[in-house]
Structure 1
């Protein structure tokens, strides 16, 4: 699964919007959560964390004002607070806020 996430190259899709990324990612992640989540929840969590990492990198590349990791985390946390089900995996793995 990790190789599949890597092949998406989310952080390189700066011409896409958040809605485009969500439309691409959500059906696949929902399927993984339904299939692997029943018995292998702990195996799926690192993959979902990795998707969050790629989303952070996407924010840093898309929005130059959020170019730092700290600002990208803040904007991702704000987005998750506004709409916690925007990305399917945010139900299990919250965006990193430090």
Structure 2
């Protein structure tokens, strides 16, 4: 019998990342330019992608889609 572990972001970790994005209130940042928003979000996104996306980047697509939809709103 062989047991294996798929090193990827757990659903609870992705849920906490989405909650953190929600807590940032990006929708309220209408007074900032897109460049200023990018300066604030890029370190967070790069960190999450580097940490959670090291082995299975495809699992981060829903989280990144959530960020894009939030920015679009």
TM-score (norm 2): 0.71
Offset of residue 19 of structure 1:
1.0
Count of paired positions: 57
CA RMSD of aligned residues (A): 1.0
Higher relative contact order, structure no. (Cα contacts within 8 Å, ≥ 6 residues apart): 2
* In 1, Cα distance between equivalents of 2:53 and 2:22: 20
Which stretches of structure 1, 4 residues or more, deviate above 2 A after TM superposition? Answer: none
Q: Which runs of 5+ in 2 are unaligned?
A: 1-16
1:27 aligned onto 2:43: yes
In structure 2, what is the equivalent of residue 9 of structure 1? 25
Q: Distance in 1 between matches of 2:40 and 2:56?
A: 23
State the match for 1:48 in structure 2. 64
| Match of residue 36 from structure 1 | 52
